[in-house]
Structure 1
Amino acid sequence: MSSVPPPGLPIVDAMTPAVLVLAGPVTRDEVPGLCDEVRGRLEASGVGVLVCDVGGLGPPGLGVVDLLARLQLAARRAGGRIRLRDADPSLHALLDLVGLRFEAEGQPEQREPALGVEEAVEPGDPAV
């Protein structure tokens, strides 16, 4: 007697992050429920990364910054972190302005230079 193996690779499936789609303006009353959902999804998945699709949040403002900061705090308390998907460049600029750093999909890590970028050296610069 043989059994059919489950579809997909177990190792890959275990590393796939959960996704939370944030749409429309989020009110202050909805924030605690979203924080609970972040904690629940991280604990259920066991991966440690929750992808937050922020493309539908609308124009970035301090309310969005507050929401993302609270979601990141909830994720950290659950032993994980959030990664932003489909974030507007102005949202990244606003987050940098207030001093918050978020991992974003499709961006190189800060320690790694972007592909195809070379540092220019001026003639006469001392060797380091």
Structure 2
Amino acid sequence: MSCARPAGLPHVKAKEPAVLVLPGSATRGEVAELCAQVQELLAGSGAHVVVCDLGGLGPPGLAVVDLLARLELAARRAGGRIRLRDPGPALPALLDLVGLRFQTEGQAEEREPALGVEEAVETGDPAV
């Protein structure tokens, strides 16, 4: 009796990240519910990333920073991460100011150069 493997590449299911749309403002009780939703999305979808849509958030402040930090912590406890969608120009600067780093959609990975960026060579540099 033999069991032949099918020809070609095995079928791989692409896992789309789960998306959580954040409300304009969240109370303390809603923050706990959002953290539970992040953990449920990670457990239920099998994905390792939850995309947090920030399009509805108002101006960034420390409450938004606290919310995102708690969501990231909840995601890490569930074995995943969060990624930010549509963060607006001021939020990444505020997050950087408080020492928090989040991946945003469309951002190059940490060790990948951004598309279309070329390194400049100064004339006095020795050849390597």
Q: Could you state the TM-score of these two structures normalised by the residue count of structure 2? A: 0.86
The answer as to 2:115 corresponding to 1:115 is yes
The answer as to 2:18 corresponding to 1:11 is no
Q: Distance in 2 between matches of 1:62 and 1:41?
A: 25
1:10 is displaced (CA, Å) by: 6.9
Q: Which amino acid aligns with 2:123?
A: P
Q: Distance in 1 between matches of 2:28 and 2:57?
A: 14
Q: Which structure has the larger Rg?
A: 2
1:28 is displaced (CA, Å) by: 1.9
1:110 is displaced (CA, Å) by: 2.0
3-state SS of the aligned residue for 2:54? strand
Q: Which amino acid aligns with 1:35?
A: C
Q: Runs (4+) of structure 1 moved beyond 3 Å? A: none
The answer as to 2:99 corresponding to 1:99 is yes
Matches within 5 A, 1:62-73: 62-73=62-73
1:88 is displaced (CA, Å) by: 0.8
Q: Which runs of 5+ in 2 are unaligned?
A: 1-10
Q: Distance in 2 between matches of 1:35 and 1:120?
A: 44
Q: Which runs of 5+ in 1 are unaligned?
A: 1-8
Q: Distance in 2 between matches of 1:127 and 1:101?
A: 35
Matches within 5 A, 1:4-43: 11-12=13-14, 15-43=15-43
Partner of 2:57: 57
3-state SS of the aligned residue for 2:82? strand
Superposed CA RMSD in Å reads 1.4
3-state SS of the aligned residue for 1:125? coil
Q: Distance in 2 between matches of 1:90 and 1:110?
A: 21
Structure number with the higher helix fraction is 1
3-state SS of the aligned residue for 1:44? helix
